[in-house]
Amino acid sequence: MGEIVEEIVKDAGGVITEVYKDGLSQSVKPIGTMLSYLPRTVRLALAKWEKWIVNGEESLRLTGEALKDKVDKIPDEKLCEPEPYVAVPAIQQISYCYDSADLREMYANLLASSMNIDKKWTVHPSFVDIIKQITPDEAKLLNIFPKDSFSSVPLVDVKIVFSKMNDFITYAKNILPDKYYDICDNPDNMRAYINNLERLKIIHIPAWVSIVDNDFYSDIEKSERIKKIKEQVVLSDEQHYELVKRLFCMTDFGIAFVKCCIEG
């Protein structure tokens, strides 16, 4: 089994480097050649392609190093070759992650999981596409979300109620406890993050369901975030704010994704 390790992670890149050289790099080399013949003004407009080639190679190298460290921790008797339908698309996507260590780490974890016989068959092919569709902030959130489907995270919506009309509008959605915002580089995007993770079926937000113990919501209710939201609109006497308490939990699919791609 040691031969598999040498073949796959050789020179801190192994199969990553070889697949890149045989496939992806061949497709982008003509771009570099083409750029050298273009006028300077056109070259400037297309310079990102040249940068992408260089950065893509560096991303592959860094991921290869991370993969080697992870594979070294797998017992020889547990090592196996990754399935091509997981490994090949994952390797192709790595070159796009040159500016995100978090996403490179996820691809390395995915590849390492696909090489561990105990985890191999829990690696779903769609995990490659999911990594491609989440942001580094979302990866950080998944790292601290519950690791089982029985635990819930409190979630609050803010609505403006029109008393006489017996109607309301939802003014703000998906407000979480402060600790989740604190780890994000772009905390103002939290609503989009939660919507995206729900769209990907990683989390589930049941309708009209909340945590029975109201203490779970106290941090959100007293937060500066809620206070600022309420200050944004001056309400009339016939209007008032109301907090809608909700929750979300991890799906079984989401838990499998976290175990394979986040925890490694």
pLDDT tens column, 212-232: 999 999 999 999 999 999 988
Looking at per-residue confidence, does 237 or 38 come out higher? 237
pLDDT at 10: 46
Residue 160, helix vs strand vs coil: strand
pTM greater than the 0.85 cutoff: no
What's the CA gap between 73 and 79, in Å, rounded?
A: 10
Average pLDDT value for residue range 233-260: 93
Model confidence over 130-139: pLDDT tens digits? 999 999 999 9
Give the residue-averaged pLDDT of 141-160: 94
Name the CA radius of gyration of the chain, rounded: 23
Two tokens, residue 71: 């594979």
For the domain made up of 144-256, give the CATH fold: Translation Initiation Factor IF3 (3.30.110)
Q: What pLDDT is recorded for position 43?
A: 42
Rounded Cα distance between 19 and 259, Å, is 26
Listed residue (153, 142, 151) closest to 256, CA to CA: 142
Domain boundaries, the chain: 2-132, 144-256
Residue 177 to residue 231: CA distance in whole angstroms: 19
Nearest to 110 by CA among 93, 127, 96: 127
pLDDT in tens, 80-95: 888 888 988 888 787 7
Asked whether the beta carbons of 161 and 241 are under 8 A apart, the reply is: yes
